[in-house]
Structure 1
Amino acid sequence: MTDTKKIGGLDVHPLSLGGNVFGWTADRDLSFEILDAYAAAGGNFVDTADSYMASAPGNAGGESETIIGEWTRSRRNRDEVVVATKVGRHPDRRGLAPANIRAAADDSLRRLQTDRIDLYYTHFDDPSVPVEDIMGTLDELVRAGKVREIAVSNIEPDRLEASLEFSEREGTARYVAIQPHYNLVSRDTYEGPRRDLAERYGLACVPYYGLASGFLTGKYRPGSEVDSVRAGRAGEYLKTERGRKVLAALDLVAEEQGAPVATVALAWLAAQPTVAAPIASARTLEQLQPLLQVAGTTLTDAQLTALTDASA
């Protein structure tokens, strides 16, 4: 059985399955297949947001939550799945004003067809709202049983520290995790003040863009054409010396490990201080397999150093 990781009082699989593709590049039936395969492999940690994927043509936001809710209901496995979602970016529920957080949480609960959210993130900080109001409202949701654990995603270090200090001072629910943009070609988005705070306060890191929009799968190469809505963003990394160095190092380590490039990229991320479970999404069953392999992949010290040096 795969070793689980701790996030507050939650036991989670070492790969969090990203739900941003559900209702976007993966329709309901394909999303169910991907979720079924992830669960069959021992996965239990699904990440979504109330805004996924409002930006897709014909969507309003909440499509991913709806699909996940229908899946857990149809499979009768809600108690076995740790569902993480986020507040603050839905087109109808923007920001972190207390009334908005309360209403957005109820909306998410309805879409997810559940009575509690296991891990509830503030998606993007709202500097117009005092941290006291945000933390107090999240504490209310925990005490009401609507949320089990609270977490934070995109936030400046000073606001994060103020939030954590408030919780300690007032004895309210406190953040147990941080979800930053973090991967082999984007390290300063987490390493530094944010990671220092995570280490000091014992926050688990659950990084998003773990594969840099697909670049770290190795499928983007000079002269190649990739059929993906993220191809433009991922292809930009090929234009940098750092990106090319990281790909070369990944190729070498992947050959040594006998593992896919994507697996190695996620294994490096999983080995970093504070990281509990990288997030990665799959829009096909074929894409899911190398992601799942991260749970059983351990890189050597020399391999970790080679990748860290290449990405410096």
Structure 2
Amino acid sequence: MNYKLLGKSGLAVSELCLGTMTFGNTTNEADAIEMIDRFVDRGGNFLDTADVYVSGRSEEIVGKAIKKRRSDIVLATKVRMTTSSNINGVGLSRKHILDGVEASLKRLQTDYIDLYQVHVWDHATPIEETLRTLDDLVTSGKVRYIGCSNFFAWQLMKSLAYSDASRYVRFVSIQPQYSLVSRQMDREMLSLCLEEKVGIIPWAPLGGGFLTGRYTRDEPKEGRMTTKVGESAWINRASDQNFSILDAVVEAAKELDKTPAQIALRWLIQREGITSPIFGASKLEQFEDNMGALGWEMPTEIWNRLNSASALQDDYPNRFIEKFRRPFE
């Protein structure tokens, strides 16, 4: 296992992050704890959960699993989504964040959270209120670093600028959807993160399962892709472009004697700016397959081939900016 620093911080995290969204749902408690044990035994130290995953059950399982090895873990969780029917049981207000952190600490059986992330932007709450509250949590010791997820580039930049101007702690990371079949972040967010030294922790690195190679062009009758709404809905994945990308992944897997999932994860691990892709697994067999992305290097020629196959269409303002780039830029 290799390690990278998380954004503009001295915190070292493993090159893969174990996501726990399925824990307590499609992954039973025994298998979930086994996955965490195997992950940590192989050098993994980065775990990601959220207060809304399986209505808090994911946090409970994670807390139970890491209780005796807490100092070995970089523990990440999130706040923002609806956690109660109360009118203030959602959002990034001071009240909801303070209520949320106490509830998460209790479920996780710990007195601190390494990385506390806001799950998505809250248009109803001024960002200055959110950042002041997060800064107070870091000062109190209940939280050590803060991050964000599912932001636009302007939202992240506004947050960083406000933190700098107010001398608050700043977001050290962002958790966006990012994979070979979801590269919208390349338009602005990736370059912003490189410029501001914000760590990138991609979720859905396998495109919600699309890049595992188990799906054909026929609409599936079972599995995650059968959902009618959300990012993993078949209608959002089954495009001609995505299947062309999948074909390239499968071809690379055959050339390198790897699985499609390992190829997709390895492409991300070697992508500039990516800190630690978050992978999940419902079964131990899937966990082992994903862990096979570690310990080898994808040849540059194959990496470039996948990069070209999945690249976004060159559009404005990129074309315009490149046209007038100076020779020494």
TM over 0.5: yes
Kindly state the Cα deviation for residue 237 of structure 1 after the two structures are TM-superposed. Answer: 6.2
2:39 is the counterpart of 1:38: yes
2:158 is the counterpart of 1:166: no
- TM-score, length-normalised on structure 2? 0.87
RMSD (Å) for aligned C-alpha atoms: 1.6
Kindly state the Cα deviation for residue 224 of structure 1 after the two structures are TM-superposed. Answer: 8.1
Name the residue aligned to 2:197. Answer: 202
**Alignment gaps of 5+ in structure 2:** 312-329
CA deviations 1:262-282 (Å, max 9, x no partner) are: 011011112222101101101
Kindly state the Cα deviation for residue 235 of structure 1 after the two structures are TM-superposed. Answer: 4.2
Q: Which amino acid aligns with 1:40?
A: D
Question: Could you tell me whether the CA contact under 8 Å between 1:16 and 1:45 is conserved in 2?
Answer: yes
Name the residue aligned to 1:57. Answer: none
Question: Could you tell me whether the CA contact under 8 Å between 1:220 and 1:238 is conserved in 2?
Answer: no
CA deviations 1:74-97 (Å, max 9, x no partner) are: xx1111111110000142231000
Distance 1:238 1:79 in 2: 39
Kindly state the Cα deviation for residue 191 of structure 1 after the two structures are TM-superposed. Answer: 1.1
Distance 1:239 1:117 in 2: 38
- TM-score, length-normalised on structure 1? 0.92
Distance 1:128 1:241 in 2: 38
Kindly state the Cα deviation for residue 219 of structure 1 after the two structures are TM-superposed. Answer: 1.1
Name the residue aligned to 1:49. Answer: 50
Question: Could you tell me whether the CA contact under 8 Å between 2:209 and 2:224 is conserved in 1?
Answer: no
Kindly state the Cα deviation for residue 297 of structure 1 after the two structures are TM-superposed. Answer: 3.0
Name the residue aligned to 2:122. Answer: 126
**Alignment gaps of 5+ in structure 1:** 54-60
- Matched residue SS, 2:53: coil
Return the match for 2:64 from 49, 53, 70. 70
Question: Could you tell me whether the CA contact under 8 Å between 2:163 and 2:169 is conserved in 1?
Answer: yes
Distance 1:139 1:67 in 2: 28
Q: Which amino acid aligns with 2:298?
A: L
What percent identity do the matched residue pairs reach? 35
* Between 138-147 and 26-35, the greater mean CA deviation after superposition: 26-35
2:97 is the counterpart of 1:96: no
Question: Could you tell me whether the CA contact under 8 Å between 1:48 and 1:84 is conserved in 2?
Answer: yes
Question: Could you tell me whether the CA contact under 8 Å between 1:237 and 1:243 is conserved in 2?
Answer: no
Q: Which amino acid aligns with 1:12?
A: V
Kindly state the Cα deviation for residue 39 of structure 1 after the two structures are TM-superposed. Answer: 1.8
Distance 1:229 1:207 in 2: 19
Distance 2:264 2:103 in 1: 35
Distance 1:95 1:89 in 2: 6
Name the residue aligned to 1:213. Answer: 208
Kindly state the Cα deviation for residue 223 of structure 1 after the two structures are TM-superposed. Answer: 4.7
Name the residue aligned to 1:146. Answer: 142
Q: Which has the larger radius of gyration?
A: 2
- Matched residue SS, 2:5: strand
2:182 is the counterpart of 1:186: yes
Question: Could you tell me whether the CA contact under 8 Å between 1:216 and 1:265 is conserved in 2?
Answer: yes
- Name the CA shift for 1:118/1:146 in 2 (closer, same or farther; >3 Å): same
Kindly state the Cα deviation for residue 243 of structure 1 after the two structures are TM-superposed. Answer: 1.5
Question: Could you tell me whether the CA contact under 8 Å between 1:220 and 1:226 is conserved in 2?
Answer: no
Name the residue aligned to 1:87. Answer: 79
Name the residue aligned to 1:56. Answer: none
Distance 1:297 1:131 in 2: 42
Distance 1:229 1:47 in 2: 20
Q: For CA contacts below 8 A with separation 6 or more, give which structure has more relative contact order.
A: 1
